[in-house]
Each structure stands twice: as C-alpha cells, then as structure tokens.
C-alpha cells in the first residue's frame, strides 16, 4: 500500500479542519475532504458513524501519522482544539516536504559535478583507445557514490528509527531534533492539560510522543516528583542543564497563574520555530559540504593531471 505523501496528508488535514470549523460532523468532514485514498476515507467514515473517537479512528485507518502526531490529535480532540492541531501538523508536514525538496535540489548540482568530473578526467583513456580503462576509472568514482546513496536510502526505509537516532549526533540536525522533540513534548502536555487529563498520564504520553532519550530521563524525574507530591516545576529546575532552557520558569509561572496549558502551547510554537530554522540551516550546510568536497576532488585531479603533463614534458625534453 502506497504511503500517503506529506503534501497530500497536509491538504487532507486542512480540509478536515475547515469542515470541523464549519460545524460539520466528523464523518461529513472526512467525506468532503480530498487527497485521502478511497479505502482509508471509507474506513474513517464508517468508524465515525460507529461512534469512534478521532484518535482511535485515525490510528485504525493506518495513516502515515507518527505516534507524536496521533498523541497530539487525541489530546486536542478531548480539549476541543482538534482543528488547530490538524493545521499545525499540516504546516509541519509541508515544511518537512519543502526542506526535503530543497536538499535534493541542492545535492543534485554537486552530484552532477562529480559525475562530470569523473567522466572528464577519465576521457584521456578514450583518447588512448583504452575503453575498459575509461569505464574503470569513471566507475571507481561513480559506483561507490551510488552504492552509498542506495545504502542510505535502504537503511532509512528498513530501519526508520535509525535515521532519527543518527540525526541526534549530526551537526545542525542534532539541534533540530532536540528542538522538535521538546516542542512535541510541550504541545502534547498543553493539549493534555487543556483536556483535563491528570498530570502523570499527560507526562507519560508526552514523553512517549517526543521519543527522546534525554526527555525520557527528564520525565522519570517528573514522575518521581509527582509521586512524592512535589511540584513539577521544581523537579525541572533540579535537572539543571539537562532540562530544556527556560522550561522550569515557564512551567512554574503556569502552575502559579493557572495558565499552564497556554504557556506550554506558546513554548511549543517557539521550539517548533527554532527547529524549523535549524532544519533550513542543515539543508544549506550539508549540500555545501558535499560541494566543497567535490571541488577538492576536482582540484586534486587538475593538479595531478598537470603534474603528469609536466613529467611527460620533462621526459621528452630529457
């Protein structure tokens, strides 16, 4: 079964959100929305007609929604903020698709240069009439590159979680993942508290949605504080630098003023904006690094070619 693209899923979520804002029933909003395969749309409509909730229906329909997105939608449904959550997920999906396209286009140019250089610097073998040497020389550059690309693509598809784990240790991407994970945690917390869920359950769901080793450890400290009857904000402060910057003060302010859900929602927006900036930076930085590497390879080949050329001239003159 084909995976629903980011763009199509984003379009569908926004259309459903518009329908819900217009006062349509869930089954009618789904029925009028487009971009969803007929079998998935029919199964959703049937689920709603049977009285199923949004979260369970979306999970049963096997849409390409992450656990974090499903958690946000479930909690937002309980708090009456489902259309807002749908639009936010749609925006995030569009941004992700946009960055993917930007990176692919940015990488296409250096890859073209690499292929061009491999062929140009091997053409001397053709001039000498050695066709097999030409293909060997060009293949020594081109084949490993494509094997690496195929290996990375296959690894990402076979082990989806591995790409996320690797990104946590890559420059630029590590900052993006951290901001995105903290933003996800804050958004699920905000939706859960707005829906009236108990603190312990909300933190457990938020941690699982963020799926971050650092935030799992932070959540363990929060759950221990809750069990001991202590304030969560103090537990966050006790974590020091392990806790996201500014979260302790924001949480304490929310506890004291009764605006915890609003504070966390604002924090989620800030973290998501920071994640977007870091992802855009990564989409520029990595193609640039590849391009510089290819320029280095081309420069090395040019120097080697001229070096061999002068050696030949020296032999002739000698």
Q: What is the pLDDT of residues 219-250, one digit of tens each?
A: 888 888 888 888 888 888 888 888 888 888 88
Q: How far apart are CA 139 and CA 68, in angstroms?
A: 44
- Report the predicted TM-score, pTM, of the whole model to 2 decimal places: 0.68
Angle among Cα 40, 42, 48 to the nearest 5 degrees reads 105
| 113 burial type by CB count under 10 A (0-12 exposed, 13-18 middle, 19+ buried) | middle
Number of H helices, E strands in the chain: 15, 0
| 39 burial type by CB count under 10 A (0-12 exposed, 13-18 middle, 19+ buried) | exposed
pLDDT at 313: 63
Residue whose structure tokens are 């293949």: 139
Angle among Cα 20, 78, 72 to the nearest 5 degrees reads 85
pLDDT in tens, 275-299: 888 877 877 777 777 778 777 777 7
Nearest to 270 by CA among 288, 245, 295, 287: 245
Contact 106, 283 (CB under 8 A): yes
Low-confidence ranges of the chain (pLDDT < 50): 1
Neighbouring residues of 225: CB distance < 8 A, sequence distance ≥ 6: 231, 232, 234, 235
**Length of the chain as a residue count:** 318
pLDDT at 47: 79
Query: What SS3 class is residue 231?
Result: coil
pLDDT at 207: 87
């Amino acid at each position: 079964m084909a995976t629903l693209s980011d763009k199509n899923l984003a379009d569908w979520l926004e259309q459903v959100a518009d329908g819900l804002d217009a006062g349509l029933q869930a089954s009618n909003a789904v029925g009028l929305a487009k971009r969803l395969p007929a079998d998935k749309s029919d199964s959703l409509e049937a689920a709603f007609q049977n009285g199923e909730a949004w979260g369970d229906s979306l999970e049963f329909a096997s849409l390409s929604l992450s656990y974090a997105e499903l958690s946000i939608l479930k909690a937002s449904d309980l708090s009456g903020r489902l259309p807002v959550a749908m639009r936010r997920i749609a925006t995030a999906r569009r941004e992700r698709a946009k960055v993917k396209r930007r990176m692919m286009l940015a990488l296409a140019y250096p890859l073209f240069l690499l292929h061009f250089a491999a062929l140009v610097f091997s053409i001397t073998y053709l001039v000498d009439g050695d066709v097999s040497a030409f293909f060997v020389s060009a293949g020594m550059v081109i084949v490993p590159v494509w094997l690496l690309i195929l290996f990375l693509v296959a690894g990402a598809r076979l082990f989806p979680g591995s790409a996320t784990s690797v990104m946590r240790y890559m420059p630029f991407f590590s900052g993006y993942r951290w901001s995105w994970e903290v933003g996800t945690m804050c958004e699920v917390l905000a939706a859960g508290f707005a829906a009236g869920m108990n603190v312990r359950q909300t933190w457990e769901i938020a941690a699982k949605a963020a799926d971050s080793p650092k935030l799992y450890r932070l959540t363990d400290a929060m759950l221990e504080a809750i069990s001991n009857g202590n304030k969560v904000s103090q537990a966050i402060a006790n974590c020091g630098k392990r806790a996201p910057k500014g979260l302790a003060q924001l949480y304490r302010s929310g506890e004291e003023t009764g605006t915890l859900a609003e504070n966390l929602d604002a924090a989620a927006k800030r973290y998501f904006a920071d994640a977007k900036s870091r992802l855009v930076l990564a989409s520029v930085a990595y193609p640039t690094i590849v391009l510089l590497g290819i320029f280095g390879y081309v420069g090395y080949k040019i120097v080697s070619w001229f070096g061999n050329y002068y050696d030949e001239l020296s032999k002739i003159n000698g």
